[in-house]
Every structure is written in C-alpha cells, then in structure tokens.
Amino acid sequence: MAAIKILTVEDDDAIRRGIVEVLQCAGYEVLEAACGDRGIEMAVQQSYDLLLLDLMLPGKTGIEILAEVRKTRPTQPVIILTARGEERDRVEGLKTGADDYVVKPFSVKELLARVEAVLRRSPDRPLDLDQVVFVGGRIDFNRHEVTCDDGQRSDLSERELELLRYLVNHQGRAISRDELLANVWRITPQGISTRTIDMHIARLREKLRDDSSEPRVLVTVRGKGYMFADQE
C-alpha cells in the first residue's frame, strides 16, 4: 500500500521540522512549504491525502489557501494549526471548511491522534489500485494493460498507467492540466505546453474504446481539464 502523503504548510522552521519528523517517524510521507504563496501552489497542484495548514503565514494566509482548496477539492481533509488565543481565526477556519484544528503548542500524541481521526473519516483517500472496471472493459494496473469486453487487449506505457491511476484515484473530479503536469509528469507547469497531456488522453481513449466525439470514460470538462467519469 502506498504511504499516506501529508502536506504541511507552516512558516515557523522549528515547528515545521518538528511536525515533519513526527509524521515521518509515524510512517507518513511529507511534503512541506514555508510560506503562503508556495503553500497555495502545492495545495492546489500536488497530490496528497491530508493538509496541515497554519493560519498565520507570510504571503497568502491559511484562510485564503483553505478557501482555494475548497473550490477545487471539496472533500480534501484539512487540519488547521492555530496559536492559543486565536479563537476567531479558528472559528473562521472551521467555517471555511477545515475538518479539525490543533492548538499550538501541541503534543506529538495529540497531533497524530487528530491526523489519524481525520484520515479515518475521509472519503477521498486515494487507493492503491489493482483493477478498475469501466464502460466497455477493465484496466489491470498490475499487468499494465486494458482488456475490452470483446477480448482485445492493449498494453499501457508507464506514463499512461500513471495518468490513468491519477484520474481514477480522483474519479468524478475534473483535473486541470497543470495538476496533471505537477503530479504525473512531476514538472512545474508554468510556461509548459499541455499538448502532451491531450495526446496521452487521445491514445488512452483509443485503448479504452472511448469515442473521442462523445467520451464516456475520459471526459473533457470545458475550462477545467479531464475527468475519469463515475462508472455505473
């Protein structure tokens, strides 16, 4: 099973390093950002299971980051980090859509307990996939192949496999080309042509027998990107 990934946005170096070390010792994979501007970029573009978000940040504030995350990822688990006495900010964070909060200073046990509790009740946890059935066939992630209902098989390249895996793990949500570049190609999207994504989608539609004029599996969402549609 793939490690659970947690994005930590905290500007205090000592606190952030402490959080990272605690989470890594507990078996989590950790991404980190030290300011609001980098935090909002990672929060929107990166793939992760839980966001730990400080509210008082240089650049974009935690509330601004949270509001942006809720626009694109309405079910993304988020825990806000607040200082003692910031009750108004804590309430605003919860109203904006945070799942829980931790007040600084906090103990290792409290932090891990809240992380585990939020992850347990999260409906959006990415899956370690083996097979997925779609309209017209099935995808076998272990064999790197697509098998259509008529028995025809098509091999998947590593990139096609990762692209499908990301889209399936976020089934029903439109994924922007920038997010795909960041999480599948693992490159910074600024200034990069997204034509390569469109070409990969076109090849996948051929292998899935998904009519490009009226796709039912890999759907184009105008102005947003691509989506692996909910399958009946």
Contact predicate 26/112, CB 8 Å:
yes
Structure tokens at 51: 């966001």
Residue 123, pLDDT score: 52
Q: Which residues contact 63 (CB under 8 A, 6 or more apart)?
A: 55, 89, 92, 93, 96
Residue 203, pLDDT score: 95
Residue 87, pLDDT score: 73
Q: pLDDT tens-digit profile of 37-84?
A: 999 999 988 888 899 999 999 999 999 999 988 887 777 899 999 886
pTM for this one?
0.58
**Residue 213 phi, psi dihedral angles, 5° rounding:** -80, -25
Taking alpha carbons only, the member of 123, 19, 127, 28 closest to residue 76 is 123
Q: Distances from the Cα of 218 to the Cαs of 141, 179, 226, in angstroms?
A: 17, 16, 7
CA distance 111 to 117: 10
What domains can be seen in the chain, in order of their start residue? Answer: 5-120 (3.40.50.2300), 131-228 (1.10.10.10)
Residue 85, pLDDT score: 67
Stated length of the chain: 232
Residue 162, pLDDT score: 87
| Residue 60: Cβ within 10 Å count | 19
Taking alpha carbons only, the member of 116, 37, 45, 49 closest to residue 76 is 49
In this prediction, the residues of the chain whose per-residue pLDDT falls under 50 are: 1, 124-126
CA distance 125 to 112: 17
Residue carrying structure tokens 């940040």: 57
Taking alpha carbons only, the member of 146, 137, 189, 182 closest to residue 164 is 146
Q: Which residues contact 216 (CB under 8 A, 6 or more apart)?
A: 135, 210, 229
Structure tokens at 92: 């605003």
Contact predicate 175/194, CB 8 Å:
no
Name the burial class of residue 126, with classes exposed (0-12), middle (13-18) and buried (19+) by CB atoms within 10 angstroms of its CB.
middle
